[in-house]
Amino acid sequence: MVNEKGEEWGRITNGVTGSKLDENHEVLFFQSNYFTQPRKLFLRSKSIRALNKEDTRVTLDLKREIILEGPPNLVLDKVIKNPSGEDTKLHFLLKTDPVYDQKHGFSIVSHEFIDARGNSFNIKSLGTSIHSDTPRYDQTLIITLPDNQSYHSPITFQIQDFPSRISGKFMIQIK
C-alpha cells in the first residue's frame, strides 16, 4: 500500500530491523503508520492471483474419468475406485509457478461438491503433496470422495485456492 506521496505502508523495505552498537547498546527500528492519516491510500502491485469467471469450478465426469470444465494447469491424472466400493480417490496434477508457489500447497477445491442432480456432498479427505513424479507438474492433489453415498456424475467442485495470476502493474485507490 502507498499513500498519495508514494510512501509505502507495510514492511521494512531493506530487511534491517535493528543493529547492535556494542555489547551494551542495541538500536531497534520500529515502523508504524499509526500516527499518520493519509489523504489517499492505494493498493499497488505487479500481479494478482485470479481466475477467469468460467474457470472457478471443476466439473468431472466420473464415468469417463475426465475434467469437463476447470482451470488451466489442472489435470485429472487418475481415478482409483476401491474394489469394495467404499471410496473413490481422485488424483490431480497441478502446474505451479516456481517463483511464487515454491513450497506452497494448495487446497484447490472446497470440501463440498454438487452432483448431477443438484445434491450436495462433503468430501472425505483432501491432501496435497508439493512434489510430483510426473514431468512438468509440481504438485499432486488427492481428493477422497465419501463412502457408500449415491452421488451422480458429473460432479462439480467450487475452486477456493488456485495458483493462477494476472501479471501487469496496477494501482487501486482504497481511500
Of 94, 148, 161, 84, the C-alpha closest to 121 is: 148
Q: What is the pLDDT of residue 145?
A: 92
Q: What is the pLDDT of residue 152?
A: 92
Say which range, 90-99, 130-139, 166-175, has the weakest mean pLDDT. 130-139
**Cα separation of 146 and 151, whole Å?**
9
Chain center to CA of 38:
32
Radius of gyration of the chain (CA): 23
Q: How confident is the model at residue 26 (pLDDT cuts 50, 70, 90)?
A: confident
pLDDT tens-digit readout, 40-59? 988 888 888 888 888 899 99
Residue 153: partners with Cβ closer than 8 Å, 6 or more residues away: 60, 61, 62, 63, 115, 116
Q: What DSSP character marks residue 8?
A: B
Burial of 105 (0-12, 13-18, 19+ CB in 10 A): middle
Contact present, 145 and 90 (Cβ < 8 Å): yes
* Res. 137: pLDDT tops 80: no
**Cα separation of 155 and 151, whole Å?**
8
* Res. 11: pLDDT tops 70: no
Query: Which residue is it, cell 463412502?
Result: 147
Of 98, 170, 155, the C-alpha closest to 131 is: 98
Kindly report whether the global pTM for this prediction surpasses the value 0.85.
no
